Structure 1
Amino acid sequence: MTNPLDPDATPTTPLPYGTPDTPRLAVRGEARLEIDPETARILVTVTARGADRNAALTDLTRRNDEALTLIKSYGNAIEHLETGAFSITPQLTDKGRNERIRAYRGSVTLNATLNDFTSLGELTTRLADLELTHVAGPWWALRPDSPAHRAARTQAVHEAVQRARAYAEALGARLGALVELADLGAENAPTPAPRGAMGGYGMPPLPPEPGAAPGSAPALDLQPQRQTVHACVNARFTMTRPAL
């Protein structure tokens, strides 16, 4: 900075690596926590096939309603429910001069997010037991505002301070002031890739053509997958003159 009492003074700025009397110290703090998931998402694909478009749509509508009714019957255990992709596709005979439509096949997807894992196994089994219904998942996750993210960031900052203090003490010095604290890569963070309609997991394969009707099955025993929460920060401090 410029001395206001001396207009001819040369402006001074702090050196990027400090001075012999006030060195700068740069460290990285990291934290990695293993947390039980808070939600589980399943993807339900209902299909129908008919000799004409109206028949396929009628069956698809009925099966979609059955799946929705079953999912909604679990009440507060369902945190989020939405309809994803819908399609109705003609299936053609072999290519050639006599090519024609021989059937129509339709599908609709449902995304359901549950917060009650005791109901998850039963619901997935009952959905899979429905006619021409395919179930994929579960995908375990933490909510974006989960306290686990804050806990990891706090632990990463504490780790940075402890590491910096240990370096300073090894030199016979003490930490002075915090100069900078930043998330790793915050200055040049890449733009997140857009997520697809299925939440980034892509479209599941359609279930096979109907065979023998499935019998009643017991509820699946689904074990939640623990989630890893990672935080990393870069920190820069000043410290007192080392005792070298």
Structure 2
Amino acid sequence: MANPRDPTDPTEQDTPPPPVPYGTPDAPRIAVRGEAHLEVDPEIARITVTVGARGKDRRTALDDLTRRNTAVLDLVKTYGDAVERLETGAFSLTPELTKHGRGERVRTYHGAVRTTAELTDFTALGELVTRLADHDLTSVDGPWWTLRPDSPAHRDVRQKAVHEAVQRAREYAEALGTTLDALLELADIGAENTQPAYPRPPAARMRTMSYAGATEETAAAPLDLEPQRQHLHASVNARFTLRPPRL
């Protein structure tokens, strides 16, 4: 015969059952998804400037490359606070060998330096890229428009997705004649930049292969660059319990 239960023994006291991973009649569950989209102006424009040089001997190519790279850096720095970041990304000086003849003979040397600049003043951007493209053996790529990683727009779109999830859950609860009771889970599916519905064509590459610097009289007019709007998207999954409805 089993021993009688001792109610004073803590091991004998009733313990609540573990929570179940599904709803019950006393605590029905609801799962919803909240999504949000925002379209905002960009905060940064990024361009890449590649300066080239070539010469029959290594020293001549290197001297020309140094001079042209210095001219590009000096020009970019004249725009002051409009330039948020200026970085040199790559340097190369490569010999080109002759295709015919015995032995390895260098025909010419090719040099290149790549620099990336980020601007926050888009009014100065059009003028800068035009002046850069007027430099000898210089190519300009971009602009690429983007937001800062800590931009308030990222927070806004995430909060909007959460509000959408709560609102959707309340609407379901209202349809059942009840209200939300508690939040069980909120999962961030991810917030990321997405391509616009009708993406613009890639930015044109502005290149000059001239061998004479532009003068004030022949300088090209500044380009009129239209900033590309940034599209943000965020999604969340949310689970709630409901107060038992009367069906």
Q: Which runs of 5+ in 1 are unaligned?
A: 187-204
Label 1:95 to 1:31 Cα distance change in 2 as closer, same or farther (>3 A). farther
* 1:182 corresponding residue in structure 2: 187
Q: Give the SS at the match of 1:47.
A: strand
* 1:6-45 alignment, distance < 5 Å: 7=12, 9=14, 12-45=17-50
Amino acid at match of 1:35: V
Contact 2:86 2:117 in 1 (8 A): yes
1:122 alignment partner, one of 104, 127, 132: 127
Amino acid at match of 2:245: P
- Structure-1 separation of matches of 2:209 and 2:125: 26
Amino acid at match of 1:227: Q
Amino acid at match of 1:64: N
- What TM-score results when the alignment is normalised by the length of structure 2? 0.84
The offset of 1:242, in angstroms, is 2.5
Contact 2:37 2:233 in 1 (8 A): yes
* 1:111 corresponding residue in structure 2: 116
The offset of 1:13, in angstroms, is 1.5
* 1:67 corresponding residue in structure 2: 72
1:137 alignment partner, one of 127, 138, 142: 142
Amino acid at match of 1:178: L
Q: Give the SS at the match of 1:111.
A: strand
Label 1:103 to 1:83 Cα distance change in 2 as closer, same or farther (>3 A). same
Q: Give the SS at the match of 1:184.
A: strand
Q: Give the SS at the match of 2:54.
A: strand
The offset of 1:157, in angstroms, is 0.5
* 2:157 corresponding residue in structure 1: 152
- Structure-2 separation of matches of 1:182 and 1:95: 66
- What TM-score results when the alignment is normalised by the length of structure 1? 0.85
CA offsets 1:165-185 (integer angstroms, 9 cap, x no match): 111111122101111111016
Contact 2:27 2:242 in 1 (8 A): yes
- Structure-1 separation of matches of 2:78 and 2:161: 42
1:101 alignment partner, one of 92, 100, 106: 106
Label 1:185 to 1:151 Cα distance change in 2 as closer, same or farther (>3 A). closer
CA offsets 1:211-242 (integer angstroms, 9 cap, x no match): 68765210000000000111111111110112
Quick check: 1:239 aligned with 2:242?
yes
| Structure number, greater radius of gyration | 2
Quick check: 1:228 aligned with 2:227?
no
CA offsets 1:7-63 (integer angstroms, 9 cap, x no match): 375762211112111111111111110000001000000000011111100000000
Taking every aligned residue pair, what percent have the same amino acid on both sides?
64
Q: Which runs of 5+ in 2 are unaligned?
A: 1-8, 192-204
Amino acid at match of 2:142: G
CA RMSD, 1 decimal: 2.3
- Structure-2 separation of matches of 1:24 and 1:95: 79
